[in-house]
Amino acid sequence: MNNQIANYKHEIKLRLVKSLPANIQDVDPAAVKKVIRKITESVVKNKLDSNEKQQIAETLSSEILGHGPIDILLKDPLVTEIMINGHNQIYAERKGKLCLTDIKFSNDEQLLSFIDKILSSAGRRVTELEPYADARLNDGSRVNVVRSPISVIPIVTIRKFDFHTLNIQELIQLDTLNSQIANFLQACVKERTNIIISGGTGAGKTTLLNTLGCFIPKDERVIIIENTRELHLEHPHVVSMECRPPSIDGKGEIDLRQLVKNSLHMRPSRIILGEVRGDEALDVIQAMNTGQQGSLCTIHSNSCIDCLERLQVLTLLGNSNITSEVAMRQTILAVDLIIQMARLKNGSRKIMEIAEVVKNNEPIFSLRKIFVRKGGKMVYTGTPPSFYDRLKEDGYTDPLFENSKK
């Protein structure tokens, strides 16, 4: 029966090629579905029951108008990431946990057709000379594609774009942080401290960055810079820029460093960089040191000290003429606070540590730990931040900080 249905689908597809225009994206989806149902009925006639006919029509509609077998995953609000390892192995992440689904593409041909479709809509493609590419779906989801010769099978990784911005109360309910830390971080953002959110992949860095960005006073102008757009701030004065990959002929690329430099001419009150990942670190550090206080960004690193060391290395990439000592000094002066995050084994995302960068003249990175996670809970270390008096001037107080100062 499966072979028979496959033959019916093949014949229907051949007729659809003749019946539907090439620019299918300009046609009303309802009209396309009507044509698909009509041709399906014509081909199948009385050979299948109504449920089987409907299933064929819906499958073909999904392939032509949507994204084939994975449409159901893209529409599932609980699914945050989709990993396609060849045509017959598809994983999905729900609530931080990976699971193997029973969804499959019919064959590699169908998977490659899906890849061509999502990449062409973004003006991208993969070939043997360029065997990997990044793109974005119309709903904002991020897509990475890898194919031969660097992979035996086609691999597609999709990180879905979440239009819902978690507010601070929701993060408290998820135990990402507690109310004391929430109030402290809100005060730090308002006081214009430069904050780096550090952590591994999927640790919740972008989610926290998005939440903290909402604490920026409403009368300030916020410039968001990202490699691929993910942030969605609830703020009245936000402008966003994202990188542009090179065209098929290798021209027209616009990278993070160019965008950071350009943002300085846009009269920013705050600069938010989605992720520091390369030589743009030099421009970010310089901006923090020359008037752009209150900047926010994320970085991939495993600890607060690793965060500073990585920033130092990336800063050196931005200018081969500066020394390691200068890069270290510039990093120390620029960064005020580091928030270290992690994704635990149960899939939950937590703040593990909050530390202040000590502003000293010694040629070494030094941290003042303020909060650390112990026994599953965030606890105060007994050491308040050095800028606590500035926070108090803006109306913020913390009884624990007060007792520590006595």
Percentage of the residues of the chain whose pLDDT score is greater than 70: 97
Both 121 and 12 in one domain: the answer is no
Indicate whether 104 and 240 sit together in one domain: no
d(CA 333, CA 360): 9
Same-domain status, 239 and 307: yes
Name the amino acid, one letter, at 136. Answer: R
Q: Does 178 have pLDDT greater than 70?
A: yes
pLDDT of residue 255: 93
Q: What dihedral do alpha carbons 58, 63, 66, 71 form, nearest 10°?
A: 70
Domain identity same for 224 and 238: yes
Amino acid sitting at position 182 = A
Tell me the Ramachandran region of residue 228: left when phi exceeds 0, alpha when psi lies from -120 to 50, beta otherwise: beta
**Nearest in space to 399 (alpha carbons), one of 171, 184, 191:** 184
CA torsion 293-298-299-302 (nearest 10°) is 110
- State the Cα–Cα distance between residues 335 and 356, nearest whole angstrom: 8
> What is the span of the domain harbouring residue 57?
2-65
DSSP 262: H
What is the average per-residue pLDDT within 197-226?
95
Which has the closest alpha carbon to 36: 51, 52, 15? 15
pLDDT in tens, 304-331: 999 999 999 999 998 889 999 999 999 9
Neighbours of 194 (CB within 10 A): 24
Question: Averaged over 72-81, what is the pLDDT?
Answer: 88
Are residues 79 and 60 part of one domain? Answer: no
d(C-alpha 63, C-alpha 253), whole Å: 31
- Work out whether the CA dihedral 316, 320, 325, 329 comes out positive or negative: negative
Is 146 found in the same domain as 118?
yes
Specify the pTM.
0.82
Tell me the CATH number at 307.
3.40.50.300
**In the listed set 33, 65, 97, which residue is the last one of a domain according to the structure?**
65
Say yes or no to pLDDT of 13 above 80. Answer: no
Domain harbouring 123, CATH code = 3.30.450.90
Number of domains making up the chain: 3
CA neighbor of 211 nearest in space, from 194, 189, 180, 229: 189
Length reported for the chain = 406
Sheet with 79-85, edge to edge strand ranges: 97-100, 90-94, 79-85, 155-159, 142-146, 132-136
Strand partners, 296: 195, 272
Helix ranges restricted to H, 244-358 = 256-263, 280-289, 304-318, 324-334
On whether the CB atoms of residues 230 and 161 are closer than 8 A, the answer is: yes
Residues 278 and 173 in one domain: yes
